[in-house]
Structure formats: C-alpha cells, structure tokens
Amino acid sequence: MELLITIFGEKKQLAYNVKKHKYGNFVLLNTEFKDANFVNEFKVFLNLNKEVMKYMIIKLDEKPSNEAQQEVTAEEGKIQEEN
C-alpha cells in the first residue's frame, strides 16, 4: 500500500445520526494498493474498528494529476490552520 495523501478533517455535524452520534470527523485517505486482495482486508479492518462509523472506498480509473494532488494538499493546510 502506497499512501499518497491523508487529510484529517474537522469535526462536523452529520446530516443524520449514525449509531446515535450527531458529530463526526471526516478523513480522506488517498492510497494506491499493489494487491487487490488488500482492499478486502482493509474493509474488514474498518468494519472491526469501533471508531469508524461509516466509510466509502472508491476505485479511480486513473491516478489523480499532480495539480489535483496540490489542490488537496492546499485544502489540507487550510483545515489544519483553522484547527
């Protein structure tokens, strides 16, 4: 697994309660998996972790451009400055 970008978002109010919680922290984890089977193992880890209320795994057709990665990194800096 190659970790490309990680963004730890701020605490936000959820649109609806999830497991009786009104607030949650959003995390964006952009990775590249070398082994497709590892995705299933990662799903099992997320399901067993009590801190994870919901998750979404998306397969991209192509790797994000450097420009897109720089935009995400800039957004990460803004989030960290606010906290």
Listed by start position, the domains of the chain span 2-82
* pTM to 2 decimal places: 0.59
CB 25 within 8 A of CB 9: yes
List Cα–Cα distances, 47 to 42, 54, 70, in angstroms.
9, 9, 31
Condensed to tens digits (0 to 9), the pLDDT of residues 42-54 reads 899 999 998 888 8
Please report where in the chains the tokens 């880890």 appear, as a residue: 45
Condensed to tens digits (0 to 9), the pLDDT of residues 64-79 reads 666 666 666 666 566 5
Residue-level length of the chain: 83
Condensed to tens digits (0 to 9), the pLDDT of residues 12-49 reads 899 999 889 999 888 888 788 888 888 888 899 999 99
